[in-house]
Structure 1
Amino acid sequence: MKVFVDARWTRTDTHDGISRYGASLVEALHELHPVTMLIHDERQLALLPAGVPHVRVNNPMSPRELFISRTLHRLGADVVFSPMQVIGGARRRYRLILTLHDLIYYRHPEPPGFLPLPVRVIWRLYHKAYWPQRLLLNRADAVVTVSETTKKLIGEYRLTRRPVTVVHNAPSRLPSRDSDAVPEGPRELVYMGSFMPYKDVETLIDGMAALPEHRLHLVSKLPPEREAELRARVPAGADVVFWRGISDADYHDLLTRAEALVTASKDEGFGLPIIEAMHAGAPVVCTDLEIFDEVTGGHALFFSPGAPDDFAAAVRKLEDPQIRSELVAAGRRQAETFTWHRSAERLLALMRSVSED
Structure 2
Amino acid sequence: MNSESMRVLFDAFWWHRGPTANRSVMREIIFAWKRVFPDDEIVLAIRSAHADLAADDVPENARVVTTRGFPHALSNSLELAQISKRVQADVMIVHNYTPLTGDSVVFIHDLMFEDHPEWFSPKERLYFAPMGWLARRAAGVTTSSAAESARIERLHPRLAPVSSIGLSIPSAMATATPTRPDGLGSIDRFFLCVGRMNVRKNLETAIDGARLSTSISAEFPLVIVGSSEHSGVNAELPPSVRRMAERGELLFLGKISDGELRWLYERSAGLLFLSRDEGFGLPPVEAGYFGSPVVASDIDVLREVTGGEAIYVDPDSSADVAQAIDSLALTYMPRLRRTSTTRDAQAEWDSVAIALRHATMPVPKEDQS
Structure 2: gaps (5+ residues): 1-5, 179-185, 333-337
Residue 334 of structure 1 and its aligned partner are, at CA, apart by 8.2
Q: Does the 8 Å contact 1:154/1:160 carry over to 2?
A: no
Go from structure 1 to structure 2 and tell me whether the alpha carbon gap of 1:253 and 1:53 turns closer, same or farther (over 3 Å shift).
Answer: farther
Superposed, 1:172-183 pairs within 5 Å as 172-173=170-171, 174=174
Equivalent of residue 202 in structure 2, options 200, 203, 224 = 200
Name the structure 1 match of 2:258.
Answer: 248
Match of 1:221, as an amino acid? S
Shift in Å, 1:160: 2.8
Q: Which residue of 1 aligns with 2:353?
A: 344
Gap change, CA 1:187 and 1:145, over 3 Å in 2: same
Report if the CA contact (8 A) 2:78-2:99 is conserved.
yes
Q: Pick from 81, 87, 92: which aligns with 1:69?
A: 81
Matched, 1:216 2:222: yes
Distance across 2 between alignment mates of 1:98 and 1:202: 34
3-state DSSP of counterpart to 2:222: strand
Pick closer, same or farther for the CA change 1:301–1:337 going to 2, 3 Å. Answer: farther
How far is 1:343 from its partner?
0.8
Deviation at 1:265, TM superposition (A): 0.6
Q: Structure 2 CA distance, aligned partners of 1:155 and 1:171?
A: 26
Give the Cα–Cα distance (whole angstroms) in 2 for the partners of residues 195 and 302 of structure 1: 21
Q: Is 1:152 matched up with 2:129?
A: no
Q: Using the alignment, how far apart are the partners of 2:56 and 2:125 within structure 1?
A: 29
Q: Structure 1 residues 281 and 292, CA, compared in 2 at 3 Å: closer, same or farther?
A: same
Match of 2:183 in 1: none
CA deviation map 1:208-252 (0-9, x unaligned): 2122353222211237x9699567634544521212211111111
Instruction: Note if contact 2:209-2:318 (Cα within 8 Å) is conserved in structure 1.
Output: yes
Unaligned runs of 5+ in 1: 127-131, 179-183, 323-327
- Give a deviation string over 1:3-38, Cα, whole Å, max 9, x none: 01101134527x522221111111101112332221
**Alignment match, 1:78:** 90
For the aligned residue pairs, the C-alpha RMSD in angstroms reads 3.5
1:87-123 residue CA offsets vs partner (Å, 9 max, x unmatched):
4444x3xx2111222232123325767xxx8x53624
Residue 35 (str. 1) matches residue 42 (str. 2): yes
- TM (norm. structure 2) is 0.77
Partner Cα distance (2:107, 2:363) in 1: 15
Query: Matched residue of 2:256: which SS?
Result: coil
Closer/same/farther in 2, CA of residues 336 and 80 from structure 1, 3 Å limit: closer
Letter in 2 for 1:8: F
Matched, 1:55 2:65: yes
Q: Which one of the candidate residues 20, 23, 31 is aligned to 1:19?
A: 23
1:304 is matched with 314
Structure 1 residues 337, 30: closer, same or farther in 2, change over 3 A? closer
SS at match of 2:167: coil
Question: Which residue identity does 1:251 align to in structure 2?
Answer: L
What is the alpha-carbon distance in structure 2 between the residues aligned to residue 28 and residue 340 of structure 1? 6
1:83: how far off?
2.2
Letter in 1 for 2:205: T
In 1: Cα distance, 2:274 partner to 2:324 partner: 12
Residue 139, structure 1, aligned to residue 137, structure 2? yes
1:135, distance to aligned residue in structure 2 (A): 2.3
Residues 137, 159 of structure 1: 8 Å contact kept? no
